[in-house]
Each structure stands twice: as structure tokens, then as C-alpha cells.
């Protein structure tokens, strides 16, 4: 019985995280160390994320394509910072068909290089620009320490790769996508994020500038939930992606890349989850409403199931993702706990009492226990269910914002700063010197998360060294 209960977040957050994922059947460990199987429930969630993001990419003019899994080793050597950044984590194929290969093939850790190679072939004139391609793919990075969803050796993501005629356009694209990610996180996942610029030490290997969206998890650690890079002309020069402009002058393209991965599922889990398990935002939840019939006597069955099936059909016809749990080998109480563990936003209980009174007992996942329970009429079920789901979506976002804001501090001196990054995040002036950043990391384990696009007025002094500082930055311990 004791092992029916989940480890509490306050007891051991990372144990809670692992248990929630395994028990809710989002994912499981694969036979290969560091790899995971995304189970049907997790895949359904990812597909909802995909569908929404994909629509947003298309709205902003992007198209999808598929590039190969294998990349010639030599491609990685063309861009100096890129190879330095990635070589420690490459998986390399050296044998094919029983023969040693002439040139080893890298299993893609990201696709800038192959895509750059292809862009060089495809782009000739300014009339070919911009090229705005996205791909949904899996990538492999050899990792020391892995965590389900947060850091696995193989992960699933989308990677966008664009090429432009001017530096301004490339920067505009980079920021446009950062905004797509920010909006998606806020409106669909109810995950508040801070969009901002990465420090030099945190930026993508080969980028001129990297931007990210940063989210606060339930243990106050930061999670980089999506990234967008302005690659300048670095890859264009390495792969000779060039074009002739209106004046017939040969120019290098300006490229960008951006990605959001299955790690985002980790963000959803740790932003909203509670001691009961997952809490999924209605807009992304694979199942939005679960109906549990309560059958006390065999004579009740027909009437109860009639009401259950009728409401199910109405909701389904209205496009609400609804499921009836009619298993007869587990008790209603067991089902309540199980669907709570799995984060379904709304639960309906329908029993003989409801049949008699024409009602439905509803329970909100985001408000555990009595406060979240309410008796509703069977009439207008589509209307009020839709309203309730939206209310839950909004309440989840508000709660996450309140939690985050309560854990962001503005320390006045370095002693306070050290306490701040123990209790949450510090939002502080920083001199932007890498040495200072490193010293802070050594002292506190906190790193710069991002320099937010929204900056306060004025100037200050660096929280660590006291030198003049132009911008404020978020410092936090991060996943």
C-alpha cells in the first residue's frame, strides 16, 4: 500500500520526477543507457505540442523537410566552434555492411552542417531567399548523465534552419521564432517563460548570438525550454552558402537555427506537477476529460451507462478529448487516483445519484480535493466543460507565474545574491565579463540563464565585481 503513494516533491524532487514519468506512462527506460522510450501517452502529448508548433511555423512562412540521419565526419570540421562544441558528444559510425568506412559517419547531433551543405547547392540568387525550412527529427548526443526528457542521448525535436540575404533579416527571424516559442509556452503549455539573450559562454557552438526561453521548475531550478540562434555568416562561410544580390555581387547568406525538444515535456511536468502527479494543461492534454461511471448495484448499470455514453458522445462531437473509464476490475477510488497521477484536467463522476438528479460531479485536477469538486447539470455539458477547461488553463498559468515571481529576487549585495540563488533566481546587474560569470558559477553553482529582452531603465554595478553594468541578467541553478 505504501508504494501506491508517490514520493512527495518536498521529500525528493528528482525521485518524484522519475516516478511521475514512469507511473503515468509518459516514458520508460530503454535497454540502451541514457535512451528512453516515449510511450503512447507521452507521444500523444508530444504530438499535441508538435501540431501546435507546426501550425505556428507554417503561419510564419516555414515549410517542413527531412534531412539525413548520417552526416560525413568532415562536415563537422568545417566550422571551428561547432566542432569544438560538439565533438565530445558525437556518436560515430565507422563500420557499414561489415566494412570499415572510408569516412566515418556522424549520427546527427543537430543538422546545421548537412543543411548548410544542401543550402549551398540550392541557393544561387537573392531571388532564392529567404529559405525557411523546419524538420521534425531525432538527434543523438553522447551524454554523461541523463534524465528522462531533460537530457537523453537520443531526443526528439524540431530544428528550423533558415537562410537570409541580410543580417537584419536573420536577426528578425531569430527573434520571431523566440516569440513563437514564448507564445506557445504561455498560451498552450501555461508555462511562463523569460525570453532573452544567452551569455557568450552559454551560446550555441557556432552561433553569433543565442536566445532562449527560460522557465522556472517546481524546485526553482531553471530550464532552458527552447533556443533560437543567429548564426551570422559563420556557417555560410564554412559551407559556402552564397548568393548574388540585386547588384550581381556575390554575398554570403545570413543563417539561423532554432529548436524545441521533448525536453519541453519535462518543463510541463515540473512547472505544473504536484504531489498527486502530473497536471497537464487542457490545451495540450491527450485526454481533457475522463468520465468515471459509479455503479453501485447491477440494476443501476443501464441507466448510469446511458448517461455516461450520452455525455461522452456530446463532448466528443464538440471536439473535446474525452475518455470513459469503464474498467470493471478496479474501483472508482483507484481510477480517481490514477487519472490524477496522469494529469487529466477534468474528471466527471456519474453515478445513480446523478442519474436521478440530472447532474455530473466534476473534479478539477488543478485544485485537488473538495475545493475542486462541483456538481454541474447534464444540460449544456459542452458549453460549461469548454469554459471549465479554459478556466483551468488560465488558473494553471496564473499559478505558475505567481510561483515564479515569488522566487525571483533582486539581491542588493553578493551575500544576498548567494542566498537568492539558493532560494530561486537572482535578477542582477552583471558586467558581462566571462570571468565574473565563471567565478559566480564556482561559488554558487548558478549560471547566467539569459539577459532578458525586457530591460529596466538605467545602469547599475555588477553584483559580483562592482564594475559598471549595462544590463540585468537572471542567474540560477539550471537543469
Q: Is 328 in the site for RNA (CB under 7 A)?
A: yes
> In sequence order, what are the beta bridge partners of 425?
408
Smallest gap, in angstroms, from Cβ of residue 284 to RNA?
A: 18
Query: Whose grid coordinates read 501555461?
Result: 190
Convert residues 20-59 into a mask of x (bound to RNA by CB under 7 A) and - (unbound): ---------x--xx--------------------------
170, 351, 409, 449: residue in contact with RNA (rule CB under 7 A)? 351
The C-alpha atoms of residue 253 and residue 255 are separated, in whole angstroms, by 6
Question: Contact at 8 Å (CB) between 296 and 287?
Answer: no
Residues in contact with RNA, counted by CB under 7 A, come to a total of: 62
Interface positions, 107-166, toward RNA (CB under 7 A): 141, 143-146, 150-153, 155, 157
Smallest gap, in angstroms, from Cβ of residue 355 to RNA?
A: 7
Q: Is 331 in the site for RNA (CB under 7 A)?
A: yes
Query: Whose grid coordinates read 546587474?
Result: 429
The C-alpha atoms of residue 451 and residue 475 are separated, in whole angstroms, by 9
Convert residues 270-309 into a mask of x (bound to RNA by CB under 7 A) and - (unbound): ------x-----------------xxxxx-----------
Cα 96 to the center of its chain, rounded Å: 35
The C-alpha atoms of residue 317 and residue 315 are separated, in whole angstroms, by 5
Q: Is 341 in the site for RNA (CB under 7 A)?
A: yes
Strand residue runs (E) in 12-130: 27-29, 36-38, 63-64, 70-72, 91-96, 99-107
13, 26, 85, 113: residue in contact with RNA (rule CB under 7 A)? 85
Cell numbers of 219, please? Answer: 524546485
**What is 308-329 written as a DSSP string?**
HHHHHHHHHHTT--EEE---SS
Cα 362 to the center of its chain, rounded Å: 29
Q: What is the side-by-side order of every strand in the sheet holding 91-96?
A: 70-72, 99-107, 91-96
C-beta of 79 vs 349, nearer to RNA: 349
Smallest gap, in angstroms, from Cβ of residue 44 to RNA?
A: 19
98, 369, 371, 458: residue in contact with RNA (rule CB under 7 A)? 369
Q: Is 411 in the site for RNA (CB under 7 A)?
A: no
List residues binding RNA (CB under 7 A): 1, 3-6, 14, 18, 29, 32-33, 85, 88-89, 141, 143-146, 150-153, 155, 157, 202, 204, 212, 224, 227, 259, 261-263, 276, 294-298, 328-334, 336-338, 340-341, 349-354, 361, 363, 368-369, 373
Amino acid at each position: 500500500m505504501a508504494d501506491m503513494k508517490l514520493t512527495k516533491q518536498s521529500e525528493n524532487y528528482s525521485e518524484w520526477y522519475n516516478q511521475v514519468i514512469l507511473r503515468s506512462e509518459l516514458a520508460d527506460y530503454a535497454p540502451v543507457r541514457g535512451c528512453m522510450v516515449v510511450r503512447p501517452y507521452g507521444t500523444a502529448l508530444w504530438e499535441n505540442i508538435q501540431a501546435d508548433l507546426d501550425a505556428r511555423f507554417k503561419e510564419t512562412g516555414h515549410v517542413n523537410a527531412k534531412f539525413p540521419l548520417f552526416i560525413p565526419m568532415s562536415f563537422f570540421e568545417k566550422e571551428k566552434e561547432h566542432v569544438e562544441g560538439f565533438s565530445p558528444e558525437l556518436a560515430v559510425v565507422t563500420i557499414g555492411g561489415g566494412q570499415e568506412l572510408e569516412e566515418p559517419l556522424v549520427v546527427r547531433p543537430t543538422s546545421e552542417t548537412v543543411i548548410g551543405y544542401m543550402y549551398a547547392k540550392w541557393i544561387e540568387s537573392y531571388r532564392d531567399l529567404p529559405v525557411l525550412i523546419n524538420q521534425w527529427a531525432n538527434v543523438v548526443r553522447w551524454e554523461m548523465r541523463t534524465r528522462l526528457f531533460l537530457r537523453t542521448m537520443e531526443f526528439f525535436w524540431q530544428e528550423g534552419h533558415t537562410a537570409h540575404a541580410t543580417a537584419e533579416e536573420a536577426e528578425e527571424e531569430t527573434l520571431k521564432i523566440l516569440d513563437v516559442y514564448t507564445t506557445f509556452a504561455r498560451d498552450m503549455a501555461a508555462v511562463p517563460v523569460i525570453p532573452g539573450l544567452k551569455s557568450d559562454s552559454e551560446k550555441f557552438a557556432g552561433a553569433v548570438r543565442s536566445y532562449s526561453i527560460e522557465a522556472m521548475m517546481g524546485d526553482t531550478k531553471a530550464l532552458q525550454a527552447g533556443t533560437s540562434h543567429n548564426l551570422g555568416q559563420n556557417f555560410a562561410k564554412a559551407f559556402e552558402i552564397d548568393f548574388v544580390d540585386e547588384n550581381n555581387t556575390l554575398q554570403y547568406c545570413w543563417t539561423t537555427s532554432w529548436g524545441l525538444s521533448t525536453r519541453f515535456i519535462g518543463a510541463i511536468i515540473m512547472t505544473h506537477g504536484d504531489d498527486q502527479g502530473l497536471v497537464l494543461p487542457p490545451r495540450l492534454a491527450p485526454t481533457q476529460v475522463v468520465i468515471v461511471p459509479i455503479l453501485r448495484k447491477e440494476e443501476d448499470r443501464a441507466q448510469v451507462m446511458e448517461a455516461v455514453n450520452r455525455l461522452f458522445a456530446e463532448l466528443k462531437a464538440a471536439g473535446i478529448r474525452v475518455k470513459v473509464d469503464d474498467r470493471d476490475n478496479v474501483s472508482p477510488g483507484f481510477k480517481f487516483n490514477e487519472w490524477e497521477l496522469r494529469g487529466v484536467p477534468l474528471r466527471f463522476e456519474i453515478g445513480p445519484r446523478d442519474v436521478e438528479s440530472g447532474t455530473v460531479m466534476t473534479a478539477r485536477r488543478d485544485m485537488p480535493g473538495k475545493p475542486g469538486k462541483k456538481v454541474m447539470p447534464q444540460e449544456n455539458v459542452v458549453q460549461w466543460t469548454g469554459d471549465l477547461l479554459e478556466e483551468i488553463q488560465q488558473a494553471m498559468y496564473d499559478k505558475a507565474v505567481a510561483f515564479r515571481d515569488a522566487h525571483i529576487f533582486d539581491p542588493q549585495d553578493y551575500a544576498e545574491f548567494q542566498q537568492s540563488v539558493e532560494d530561486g533566481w537572482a535578477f542582477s546587474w552583471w558586467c558581462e565579463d566571462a570571468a565574473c560569470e565563471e567565478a559566480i558559477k564556482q561559488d554558487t553553482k548558478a549560471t547566467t540563464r539569459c539577459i532578458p529582452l525586457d530591460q529596466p531603465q538605467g545602469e547599475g554595478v555588477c553584483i559580483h565585481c562592482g564594475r559598471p553594468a549595462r544590463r540585468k541578467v537572471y542567474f540560477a541553478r539550471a537543469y
